[in-house]
Structure 1
Amino acid sequence: MATLRDQVAGFGVTFRTMFRKVVTEQYPYDKQPTAPRFHGRHQLNRWPDGLEKCIGCELCAWACPADAIYVEGASNDDAAGERFSPGERYGRVYQINYLRCILCGLCVEACPTRALTMTNEYELADDNRADLIYEKSDLLAPLLPGMEQPPHPMRLGDDEGDYYRGATAPPSTPTAKPAGPAVRGDDA
């Protein structure tokens, strides 16, 4: 008797919802915007002159709990004119394995130069496992107008300090302030 009542109750739920308006997402055809702080695909950023911000320190790889990031640093060669970043080193090999990545953002927090950020792009599915291992060329931000493809010499200053401070020209000698009115204390 109890099983018959349970079956009728189950069918009651089905009949009640059968004639309601369908609420579905039309995902592939109508993409809804994500939240502004959504953690999606990673991006390696560039300086305004086109040099890479990544200095090959490998802190992002060490911070990754899923061991999804592989970084191999190399030294910039000023003698040969091959400079990829303003620092002494750059990330020669940079890979993120999205089969392992959990999109937690700990790598972004570990980056000392803010070279690594996360975009709002969430469509990371593919039918080939090898295509889900993103190389440096896949992760680098596109070149904007006014940027030059590395390797090239530094354009924003004489050393990496100018880049990190945001100075667009080498620091100049400080000028003397014009003398203003003297401020007198209580002894007046």
Structure 2
Amino acid sequence: MADSKSLKEQLWDPVAGFGVTFRTMFRKVVTEQYPFDKQPTAPRFHGRHQLNRWPDGLEKCIGCELCAWACPADAIYVEGASNVDGEGEESGRFSPGERYGRVYQINYLRCILCGLCIEACPTRALTMTNEYELADDNRADLIYEKSDLLAPLLPGMEQPPHPMLLGEDEGDYYRGNLRPAGSEGEGK
């Protein structure tokens, strides 16, 4: 009895498989014409990362390395440095705080675009854009440096390093107590 059942299954299984193929042969094709017809992404889509700036052009990243610690794929490398006011080659203010991210790298060969780094960032310096075309033909080009990740300078912004232009100290930046553009030496 077991042999007749297995013989019946042996004959019926290929026919059932061809039945599925035959049913789907005449359905409308649902493929996307991706390179030529790009569909918009969802507003909360996690794409390429971006390092944001303050309205005067200083970087929001304070080099705390919390994003690197939060990354489950170990795809982020941050090396912090101190902001040094004064003259000289190593001086200059890149962020309003005591530190800034001197080296910032994201390895998109490892990144899983989960967004945990965004949640860990205390200054909202790191966000994710809707850009999803991250493919390349060279592995080295998929390691994005700080210059690749920084938001572009908008009109009215100045390229760092420069002194803080929008407040008396870093607390003004973080609390949003920014002085008007015309009052250079005045307080709040």
Aligned in 2, Cα 1:163/1:5: closer, same or farther, shift over 3 Å?
A: same
Partner Cα separation in structure 2 for residue 186 and residue 108 of structure 1:
35
Partner Cα separation in structure 2 for residue 179 and residue 18 of structure 1:
66
Partner Cα separation in structure 2 for residue 93 and residue 186 of structure 1:
34
Counterpart check, 1:96 vs 2:98: no
Deviations along 1:92-136, one digit per CA (max 9) or x if unpaired, are: 000011111111111111111110011111111111110110000
Deviation at 1:25, TM superposition (A): 1.1
Aligned in 2, Cα 1:10/1:64: closer, same or farther, shift over 3 Å?
A: same
Partner Cα separation in structure 2 for residue 80 and residue 16 of structure 1:
76
What SS is found at the alignment partner of 2:47? Answer: coil
Deviation at 1:12, TM superposition (A): 2.3
**Could you say which residue in structure 1 is the equivalent of 2:42?**
35
Number of corresponding residues: 172
Gaps of 5+ in 2: 1-10
CA contact (8 A) 2:166 2:181 kept: no
Counterpart check, 1:51 vs 2:58: yes
Aligned in 2, Cα 1:115/1:88: closer, same or farther, shift over 3 Å?
A: same
Aligned residues: percent identity? 91
CA contact (8 A) 2:79 2:104 kept: yes
Partner Cα separation in structure 1 for residue 17 and residue 97 of structure 2:
67
Aligned in 2, Cα 1:147/1:7: closer, same or farther, shift over 3 Å?
A: same
Deviations along 1:129-177, one digit per CA (max 9) or x if unpaired, are: 10110000000001111111111111101211111111xxxxxxxxxx9
Gaps of 5+ in 1: 167-176
Deviation at 1:7, TM superposition (A): 2.1
TM-score normalised by L of structure 1: 0.82
Aligned in 2, Cα 1:81/1:89: closer, same or farther, shift over 3 Å?
A: farther
Aligned in 2, Cα 1:34/1:187: closer, same or farther, shift over 3 Å?
A: closer
Partner Cα separation in structure 1 for residue 187 and residue 163 of structure 2:
58
Aligned in 2, Cα 1:130/1:187: closer, same or farther, shift over 3 Å?
A: closer
CA contact (8 A) 2:166 2:180 kept: no
CA contact (8 A) 1:49 1:148 kept: yes
CA contact (8 A) 1:51 1:150 kept: yes
User: Alignment partner for residue 72 of structure 1, among 70, 75, 79?
Assistant: 79
Partner Cα separation in structure 1 for residue 104 and residue 68 of structure 2:
10
Deviation at 1:60, TM superposition (A): 0.9
What SS is found at the alignment partner of 1:46? Answer: coil
Partner Cα separation in structure 2 for residue 178 and residue 112 of structure 1:
25
